[in-house]
Structure 1
Amino acid sequence: MAGGLTHLNERGEAHIVDIGDKESTRRRAVAQARINAGAETISAILGGALKKGDALAVARVAGIMAAKKTADLIPLCHTIPLTKVSVDIMGDGAAAIRIEATAETTGQTGVEMEALVAASTAALTLYDMAKALDRAMTITDICVLEKSGGKSGNFSRP
């Protein structure tokens, strides 16, 4: 089903894709999420001044844990033996934080969903830890920045 929706069978029903005949290759994906908030909130998160504790450390661990649970959260994802997951959190101007998550494996399917789940979960964790300061925070720009490996080749967001 080249170019089609691979998670639908010939009757249009959802199914998990058979990857049994695919070659194992080195796979890597980088995804991001962004939190927009007031400058005081961003400063408190980045400066470790939240009453709930070190939000950055908790968000990193939450993102890593979430990447490992992607197949439990996204119904048609394969369970993937991840070889690396990292979550980097940085200020992005006075009123934003950018989260960048990287997932890697050597396997038969890509790790874009694992990177996206890691970035999203880290952002949700930061929201949870800082919501007492700013309930108007928004989480935006969740997307794949780049991916490599596999039959479809490399992708890099312009």
Structure 2
Amino acid sequence: MTTQAVFPIELRWENEQTSRIPFKAYTDEELHRKELQRFFYEKHWCYVGLEAEIPNPGDFKRTAVGERSVILVRDMEGEIHVVENVCAHRGMQFCRERQGNRKDFVCPYHQWNYSLKGDLQGVPFRRGVKQDGKVNGGMPGDFKLEENG
């Protein structure tokens, strides 16, 4: 049997009477991305958990929507939020535990700090480090925490 016969390049049905789904429907990367967009990321809600799973302020549960890691969390005022589990700085997942209780989230990579609402609260050495009368590093002068949550 040739590779072509086992893994067909075209997405086509064998014949009109078949109930067999073409193999490419399960393996095509472009089709997979379209399905993620349609089923998880656009124009409708996705179930992430129950309110009862996070009864206390600071309680959280990590789960997924499609391929995106998200955190269902109750803030200190009792409001519920769903926060994407990715640091705005380098894309690192900042929460690794499945569930727990926190006052905030801190990215393990560069220690960016996020509130339970997903707002960026702090960046280490934001204004750089002063050494020998000179400031090294730091974020640009127009960097705003509220634009990077």
Q: Please, what TM-score do these two structures have when normalized by structure 2?
A: 0.21
- Higher relative strand content: 1
- Higher relative helix content: 1
